[in-house]
Amino acid sequence: MNGVLSYHGPADLTLTYGTSPGLGRTAERPGVEVVVRRPSAGAPVSVKVGRYLGVDLLKGFDLTRAVVALPDGTVLEGAVQAVSGSGDSFEIAAVSQPTQGERYA
């Protein structure tokens, strides 16, 4: 596998806000329509959500970590390294090669 990932469809999102122990919060959103892209192995994973949902989840908060679970069992997990100015996408710092049905970060 070459590390390239492209997916459009539903996914379960778990987003963590804040880094202080006991002060952060987690939001879980099952079945969110997403576009996931990773151009090559070792590149960050770009996750785009609908604009309405994105503004609700991404803007104005300190998003620090994300888990994206795809229907085939693939799980993308890692620190959030960027949120778009429009609030409809974010990047996960992912370093391992994706494997269907397995977790990677």
Q: What are the tens digits of pLDDT across the range 17-33? A: 887 666 778 889 999 99
Q: What sign for the dihedral angle of Cα 83, 58, 93, 36?
A: negative
- The alpha carbon torsion through 74, 66, 54, 98 (nearest 10 deg) reads -30
- In this prediction the pTM is 0.80
User: Residue 84 has what pLDDT?
Assistant: 84
The whole-angstrom separation of Cα 66 and Cα 51 is 18
Q: Report, as ranges of residue numbers, the positions in the chain whose pLDDT lies below 70.
A: 1-2, 20-22, 51-61, 94-105
CA atoms within 13 A on the CB side of 87: 12
**pLDDT at residue 2, rounded to an integer:** 65
CA distance linking residue 43 with residue 73, whole number of Å: 21
pLDDT at position 42 is: 83
Whole-number pLDDT of residue 87: 78
